[in-house]
Amino acid sequence: MPLGRRIVLDLNSPAFLDVFLRLGPADLAQVATTLDRLRRLDWPALYRHAGFRWEAVDHVPTPTGAKAHSVRLSRKIRAIGYRDGDYLRLVSLHPDHDSAYGR
């Protein structure tokens, strides 16, 4: 079975960048490593991968109307994003993973 097209990351959301650029060195390194792993996957692999815990979230609207999802970037950090073609557009980053779910 041929591989699908790889995921293209879009990290340009101001809300995502505000948190990403303030991470401490250890968290920053871990998130960067995970983002690198994520961009090496195709979409079907992400959907099947248990470690990323790709989960729908209902409380986050997206510009395209696509369903927003959370994705695990480290043991404690999650991001919220949505699929837009081959792009995974990350819109927010949550060092306290519960905040990704609006808790």
At 54-92, the pLDDT tens digits run 999 988 888 888 999 999 999 999 999 999 999 999 999
| pLDDT over 50 (residue 2) | no
User: Do the Cβ atoms of 19 and 93 come closer than 8 Å?
Assistant: yes
Of residues 64 and 17, more confidently modeled: 17
Banded model confidence at residue 10, pLDDT cuts 50, 70, 90? very high
- Note the Cα 8 to chain centre separation in Å: 11
- From residue 97, how far is each of 2, 70, 86 by CA, in Å? 34, 9, 25
Model-level pTM? 0.87
pLDDT value, residue 3:
56
Reduced DSSP (H G I as helix, E B as strand, rest coil) percent helix, strand, coil of the chain, to 5:
30, 25, 40
User: Do the Cβ atoms of 72 and 51 come closer than 8 Å?
Assistant: yes
Which domains are assigned to the chain? Answer: 8-101 (3.30.2310.20)
| pLDDT over 50 (residue 1) | no
